[in-house]
Chains A and B, each alone.
Chain A
Amino acid sequence: MMLSGKGLACQRGGRMVFSGLDFSLRAGQALPLTGPNGAGKSSLLRLLAGLLPAAAGRIDFKGGSPERSLGEQAHYLGHQDALKTQLTVLENISFWASYMRGTLAGDDALTAVGLCELANVPAAYLSAGQRRRLSLARLVAIQRPVWLLDEPNASLDDSAQKILSAMMRDHLKRGGLIIAATHAPLGIKSARELRLGRAR
């Protein structure tokens, strides 16, 4: 499995966020994205997820399922947690697990992120960190080879960070790919990082 980008450019609101961007990573590799605010880390992730059109360049994903787009084989963990506050914790994760054809039942995914005791609590009562944990449950409930993570460490406490690191190591060991925008160290080994920013 191999994911690469050549000459990628992204335009938002008439402004060129980045251009001429190249990267490639293989199965089992992680690519941290670093750079100052506004350098286009989030835009690159959304572009890879298929949520933003690329202004130029091409993305190649080899070894995945040929009839599916990259976005359909990727997990995207954005700044929003995609939770409905009216639903309980279990109802939230079970919905995504069914809707995205997950392989793990909702309560097993909750156990994996340490939220099983809150299964029947409405998501409205969760703290920011607990909401984030619930988003992480999606990563284990549904098997997708590419993980696009936007500041995955944000508002996570130590124990949750450990869970996340273990999840990422596991994913890489199984031959997954991770691209993560981050300010803090991810707690996994990565060969190199991709630094975004106009001052290149």
Chain B
Amino acid sequence: MTPLSALLVREIRVATRIGGGALIGVLFFLTVVTLIPFAIGPDLTLLKRVGPAILWLGALLASLLTLDRLISADQEDGSLDLILMTDTPLAVTLAVKAFAHWLTTGLPLVIAAPILSLLLNLDLAAAMAVTLTLLAGTPGLTFTGLIGAALTLSLRRGGLLMSVLVLPLTIPTLIFGVASASAAIGGTPLGPPFAILCALTLIGAVIGPFAASWALRHGQE
């Protein structure tokens, strides 16, 4: 196996075995989406209107809150030292780790989105639109969150601080994600907001791993 495929397999195994974090994100997503109607009421027309926003907020929180262990687990058991001592560029390693995290946490969110759309009274077209925008947007969230995970690595209780640091960075993705979903629901083609959403994800995939690798290299002590 090449170094990177070995890393991908290892990350997926660790996430899906006992004690791993896969599927906890999707459970969080389900819970948040279920809670919101209790707060704003079961009015189906209202839920239909705010449904895409609820799904996007839930997916955003679920993507980011599960990220805090992504690098710190490797630091605690000493794996990070060895990872730093290889000729595989650190940014590439981090990108693979983030991708594995998206496969085990982000992709389940995308798959769950159509089912949760039913709860929010979205019709099929709207559910598909939200799912498509989540598919395009959640990898960007993970790559952006990676920066926070690297920055807060040496802190205790870094998880909460990480969210505070990263959530503002995810605002563009949220804006264009919800906007493109709403555009699709309104009957207009996905168009420019969706293109911008895809662009944001691609930018995140480039900037995230590099920024995170700089944060790790400079945070060493």
Direct A/B contact, Cβ within 8 angstroms: yes
Interface residues of A in 89-138 (CB under 8 A from B): 91, 94-96, 98-101
Which residue in B10, B76, B85 is a CB contact (below 8 Å) of A95? B10
Expressed in whole angstroms, the Cα–Cα distance for A161 and B88 within the complex equals 32
Number of A interface residues in the complex (CB < 8 A): 31
A81 at the interface (CB under 8 A from B): yes
Nearest 3 CB-CB pairs, A to B? Answer: A80-B78, A98-B6, A86-B17
Q: Which of B1, B9, B77 contacts A83 (CB 8 A)?
A: B77
Say whether A1 faces chain B, with CB atoms less than 8 Å apart.
no
Interface residues in B, total, Cβ within 8 A? 28
Map CB proximity to A onto B59-79 as digits: 1 under 8 Å, 0 otherwise. 000000000000000001111
- Write the nearest CB–CB distance from A15 to chain B, whole angstroms: 12
B188 is an interface residue with CB less than 8 A from chain A? no
Q: Quick one: closest A residue to B85, CB to CB?
A: A71
CB atoms of B81 and A82 under 8 A apart: yes
Kindly provide the distance from the CB of A169 to the nearest chain B CB, expressed in whole angstroms. Answer: 24
Which residues does B use to contact A, with CB under 8 Å?
A: 1-3, 5-7, 9-10, 13-14, 17-20, 76-79, 81-88, 220-221
Cα(A79)–Cα(B17), bound, Å:
25
Contact partner, B85, options A50, A80, A87, Cβ 8 Å:
A50
Residue of B nearest to A148 (CB): B85
Q: How far is the CA of A85 from the CA of B221 in the complex (A)?
A: 26
Within the complex, which residue of B85, B88, B220 is in contact with A52, where a contact is CB–CB below 8 Å?
B220
Task: Tell me, yes or no, whether A53 is within 8 Å of chain B by CB.
Answer: yes
B87 contact from A68, A80, A96, Cβ within 8 A: A68
